[in-house]
Amino acid sequence: MYEVGTLVLYEKRGVYKVESVGAPPVRGASGDYYKLCAVFSNSNEITYTPVDTVSFMRPLISSGEAAHYLELFSQLEPHVFRSGKTMELTAHYQELLASHKVEDCLLLIKEIHVRQREMARQKKRLGQVDSKYLKLAEKMICEEFAVVLDTTPDLIRERLYAVTQRRATA
């Protein structure tokens, strides 16, 4: 059980703070629920999820782990998934995100960046599936790293892009 004030990565939605634990303000709901507030939301987004939830929730990594992953990012070699079928590509991306492992999210970001460079050489744009999963992976990574490294998601995103740009031109 998470304590009030704990910051968690919730599902594929980003970083949330446990505001309270108890009965939700919903008729007919029983048991204890976490009241989660999105840390980087302008709309004061609140989510209620049962304490004994099957939803994925984990504590954030440490600042040392985040710094390590940022260093590791430049060395990650993604295996670009090649398929002309949208369903297969979607399943591949979902599988990487479903692990909720930082390294898998970073691999997904790198993989899509490789695809993006390949598409740009062909004067094409990234597809909707690629764009959707890139946004999800970036949101999860950038929010988590921003919190633990005391910066902003935008600065983390810039740092990741700088690493991929250096690798692309090297």
Domain boundaries, the chain: 7-58, 61-169
pTM above threshold 0.75: yes
1 pLDDT band (50/70/90 cuts)? confident
pLDDT tens digit string along 61-89?
A: 999 999 999 988 988 888 888 887 999 99
Q: Rounded to whole angstroms, how far apart are CA atoms 159 and 153?
A: 10
Q: What CATH fold (topology level) applies to the domain 61-169? A: Methane Monooxygenase Hydroxylase; Chain G, domain 1 (1.20.58)
Give the pLDDT mean for 81-109: 92
Tokens 């994925």 belong to residue: 56
101 pLDDT band (50/70/90 cuts)? very high
166 has a pLDDT exceeding 80: no
106, two tokens? 């970073």
DSSP letters spanning the chain: -PPTT-EEEETTTEEEEEEEEE--SSTT--S-EEEEEETT-TT--EEEEETT-SS-EEEPPPHHHHHHHHHHHTT--------S-HHHHHHHHHHHHHT--HHHHHHHHHHHHHHHHHHHHTT----HHHHHHHHHHHHHHHHHHHHHTTS-HHHHHHHHHHHHHHHHH-
167 has a pLDDT exceeding 80: no
**CA angle at residue 91 from 121 to 122, to 5 degrees?**
10
